[in-house]
Structure 1
Amino acid sequence: MADIQSAPTGSLSPVSSQDAVSSTAVGSAVSNSHPTSNVTVPIADTALSWEIQNNIYGDSLPIIPSASSVQGGKILYLLKIKITLKQVSGGNLVVGKAVSIRSNRSGDAVSLSSSISAADGTILITLKSRNAGDLRLSVENSDISAVPLAIRLKDAWYEGTFLITGYNVCNESDFGGDMTDAHGLGDQHRYNFLYGASGVIMQGTGQALNGRYVRFVSMSTTWHLNSHGHRDHIQDPAQVTFAYTDSVQGAFGPVTENHSIAVDGNVILPRAHVNIDGVGDRYADDRGSAIVGRHIDNFLGAGASVVQTWLHGGVNGTQRRVKYIG
């Protein structure tokens, strides 16, 4: 497969939240009027409210930190939440109060920016998790009233941007040379398409004139070198075998033009669904030795014409934000 690269140029799934609902009573109450059977019932005097903070892209989706990597087939979600403490009676801000927050899931990590509330009655919380799905944050303090915060971890923005490039496979219509036998196919194709240095043997797969894909299987010969010492064609075509295939095969499954991308599996999960800003929805069906880190290679299809269209489309070589969908 051929990479097209150049120097860089310059429907969200919402996270749900609930605000705290608190009683307006303060202090304690008794269960009945009989002096010998009263039971004191404590009532919280502090109310807590939650507010999920907007990320760098202006919405409330979690962020996948740039410094994180895929572990155990999971990404790392990071979500910032602000809590505010107020007195139930009077609504005054509560300063210097310690708060304990927990998730109902054991795999989630919840850290607080401060052990006590600041002058504005707030504390910033950071939720980190590698587990998608539903969770609830709740307050462990018995003297603080708060409705648990419901969160669904699914979509998330990758922090920072990705370099976007494109790659293609060869098309027989772009090659010259005499028609020659193709061992394993049972028919003939243009010599340079099969045996040339930019043909099927080098790229792994190519699209023939009949519309079918040809896959290189094996060879027991070597390359002929031109006067500059570069490969130009195979020494003995009789020692090369091909096969027809239904599609171009990527590292993680079949690849389809303007649907599949090659990624670094340490950054984007294999087979993950992502949305690239200005490009659209794509699926991580492939990887490549040159695709390292925050780099996405968009599969363009077969032939030189798709490359030219891509190069004039204003996307190749640019940095784009990427959203993880699942």
Structure 2
Amino acid sequence: MQSIKTPILKFTGAHMADAIIATANTNSTPGSIVDVSVEGIVCRLSIEKNKYFDTLPIIPTAARVENEKILYRVKVKAELVQHSNGKMACGQALNIKSNRSADKIISNGRTDSEGIMFLTLETYEAGSLELSSSTPGVTSASLKIVLKDAWYESLFLITGYNVCNEIDFSGPLVEGTGLQEKHKEDFLFGARGIPMQGTGMDTNGKYISLLHMRGHWIANSRGAPDHVLSQDTAFQYVSAVKGKFGLVKENHSIAVDPHVIPPRAQVDIDGVGLRFADDKGSKIVSYHIDNFLGSGKAVVQVWLSEGVNGTHRRVKFLGD
């Protein structure tokens, strides 16, 4: 007979659902007895539902990314019952510990008048962990938790951004340093073109990026940047738009505040879908996501017609 670890004791109280509170190993000897020690108080641990009515962890509004990791917060409920009579153990001291040293447990240390204590688990470490009681006289089965996906507590402002497309420009065709073909002058040197945006798509569907701009902007009559001089700029053909953390793809990449969403992280935006944090922007601060739309005015018009731009939406962090 093979030794098998199996639950052998359940406890049912007036305010507690059936809960396995002890396990033991059987052995190969017929008629053998397995001793299980159950203390005077039984503790049942469970995960409380969050504001979105599931048991995923929450990423607190005030939390900031550390070492490209998000802060997980989980609310846990501890119910204590006296083993001898099934009554709730009110005012009972209770200490809950994790099997991982990096995890932080926050509680008031005692059960309330209904024998219940709520505690908070906070950690930057994803993966599996177990919570259990370390209080003498209290028996509890371990609560196993896997930290991976999590909801952001705050909603995000959703906007969109694009790069320029040569089809939206009307200037004469001119040469540019580093380019094999002529392109529209205002596309290459104007304030709405590549010098301001860094990258643009030409009429053949190829991306052109600014290699360098050594001069300064020539202002218009209102004092705003108008154009740069051709001799001060150089360009190069590139395969894609380059973001701060990787190549940027339309309706795939987003610009984020890396203090809130880690670089290269994957998130699920309500009503938008899966996106990757491939970029950041100077104006993208805190709970703001900028969705990369592609190139040209047409993609912006489509985006604005969908009713997403400027709305606040919940976002789920998707762990590895």
**Corresponding residue for 2:117?**
123
Partner Cα separation in structure 2 for residue 77 and residue 254 of structure 1: 28
The answer to whether the 8 A contact 1:19-1:50 is kept is no
**CA deviations over 1:164-198 (Å, ceiling 9, x no partner):** 11100000000011111121012111111111110
**CA deviations over 1:62-100 (Å, ceiling 9, x no partner):** 111111111122111111011101122332211122111
Partner Cα separation in structure 1 for residue 286 and residue 94 of structure 2: 39
1:83-162 equivalences in 2 (<5 Å): 83-112=78-107, 114-162=108-156
Q: CA deviation at 1:41?
A: 8.7
Quick one: structure 1 residues 308 and 293, their matched pair in 2 at CA, closer, same or farther if it must change by over 3 Å?
same
In structure 2, the gaps of 5 or more residues are 1-16, 23-34
**Corresponding residue for 1:223?**
217
**Corresponding residue for 1:5?**
none
The answer to whether the 8 A contact 1:164-1:296 is kept is yes
Opposite residue 308 of structure 2, the aligned amino acid is: V
Opposite residue 78 of structure 1, the aligned amino acid is: R
**Corresponding residue for 1:284?**
277
Identity rate of aligned residues, in percent?
49
In structure 1, the gaps of 5 or more residues are 1-17, 24-39
**Corresponding residue for 1:232?**
226
1:22 aligns with 2:9: no
Partner Cα separation in structure 1 for residue 227 and residue 237 of structure 2: 21
Scaled by the length of structure 1, the TM-score of the pair is 0.86
Quick one: structure 1 residues 319 and 42, their matched pair in 2 at CA, closer, same or farther if it must change by over 3 Å?
closer
Q: CA deviation at 1:115?
A: 2.2
**Corresponding residue for 2:198?**
204
Opposite residue 77 of structure 2, the aligned amino acid is: K
**Corresponding residue for 1:195?**
189
Partner Cα separation in structure 1 for residue 263 and residue 311 of structure 2: 23
SS in 2 for 1:182: coil
1:273 aligns with 2:272: no
Partner Cα separation in structure 2 for residue 139 and residue 69 of structure 1: 30
Quick one: structure 1 residues 289 and 19, their matched pair in 2 at CA, closer, same or farther if it must change by over 3 Å?
farther
The answer to whether the 8 A contact 2:43-2:81 is kept is yes
**Corresponding residue for 1:176?**
170
Which gives a bigger RCO, structure 1 or 2 (Cα 8 Å, sep 6+)?
Answer: 1
Partner Cα separation in structure 2 for residue 69 and residue 115 of structure 1: 27
Quick one: structure 1 residues 200 and 144, their matched pair in 2 at CA, closer, same or farther if it must change by over 3 Å?
same
**Corresponding residue for 2:252?**
259
The answer to whether the 8 A contact 1:19-1:147 is kept is no
Opposite residue 77 of structure 1, the aligned amino acid is: Y
Q: CA RMSD in A?
A: 1.7
Size of the aligned set, in residue pairs, is 291
The answer to whether the 8 A contact 1:83-1:123 is kept is yes
Q: CA deviation at 1:231?
A: 2.2
Opposite residue 212 of structure 1, the aligned amino acid is: K
Opposite residue 59 of structure 1, the aligned amino acid is: D
The answer to whether the 8 A contact 1:20-1:145 is kept is no
SS in 2 for 1:216: strand
Partner Cα separation in structure 1 for residue 18 and residue 219 of structure 2: 72
Q: Which structure 1 residue ranges, 4+ long, deviate > 6 Å from structure 2?
A: none
1:314 aligns with 2:307: yes
Opposite residue 39 of structure 2, the aligned amino acid is: A
**1:52 aligned residue (44, 47, 50):** 47
Partner Cα separation in structure 1 for residue 36 and residue 213 of structure 2: 84
The answer to whether the 8 A contact 2:46-2:143 is kept is no
